[in-house]
């Protein structure tokens, strides 16, 4: 019995392993429910970095922002339970949802003591002032 090989447009024996499996991770992980990422914009200004992050559905208290050793971390966790009761107090419906996001950014030269954060309408805004250590400093030479 002869097989018609024409439907195969590529010769899989001539492909590198990275070409053969390049979409595997995308296909595998796209099937997970509640896979979320923090969408962000980062702008570099002369004296600071400005970061905005979309965190819809989270409250201010559910968000944790930290900066340590040049690494900015944004974490948010949401654990909600909605419960509807009838007139006699019996539970007739109970729904739960859980979402957890985390994003890390390597941003050096930040004055960590003066980072400013605000949260409104699902948008986290951070202002990360730069350290002044990169400014040119003239050194006076003394007679000596």
Residues 6+ apart with CB under 8 A from 1: none
Q: What is the pLDDT of residues 23-73, one digit of tens each?
A: 555 444 444 444 457 899 999 999 999 999 999 989 999 999 999 999 999
How are the residues of the chain apportioned to helix, strand and coil, as percentages rounded to the nearest 5?
A: 15, 45, 40
Q: What is the per-residue pLDDT for 37?
A: 75
Where are any strands of DSSP class E within 9-90?
39-44, 48-54, 63-68, 71-85
pLDDT above 50 (res 22)? yes
Higher pLDDT, 30 or 13: 13
Residue 114 has pLDDT above 90, yes or no: yes
Closest to 40 measured CA to CA, from 80, 78, 72: 72
Indicate the length of the chain as a whole number.
144
What's the mean per-residue pLDDT of the chain?
A: 78
Q: What are phi and psi of 77, to 5 degrees?
A: -135, 130
H helix intervals, 1-144: 17-20, 24-29
Note if the pTM is more than 0.75: no
Q: Is pLDDT of 86 > 90?
A: no
- The whole-angstrom separation of Cα 71 and Cα 110 is 10
């Amino acid at each position: 019995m002869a097989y018609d090989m024409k439907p195969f447009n590529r010769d899989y024996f001539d492909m590198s392993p990275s070409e053969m499996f390049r979409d595997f991770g995308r296909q595998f992980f796209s099937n997970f429910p509640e896979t979320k990422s923090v969408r962000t914009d980062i702008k570099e200004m002369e004296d600071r970095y400005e970061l905005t992050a979309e965190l819809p559905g989270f409250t201010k208290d559910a968000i944790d922002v930290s900066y340590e050793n040049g690494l900015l971390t944004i974490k948010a966790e949401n654990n909600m339970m909605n419960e509807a009761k009838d007139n006699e107090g019996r539970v007739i419906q109970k729904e739960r949802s859980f979402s957890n996001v985390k994003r890390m950014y390597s941003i050096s030269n930040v004055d960590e003591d003066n980072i400013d954060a605000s949260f409104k309408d699902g948008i986290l805004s951070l202002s990360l002032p730069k350290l002044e250590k990169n400014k040119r400093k003239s050194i006076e030479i003394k007679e000596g």
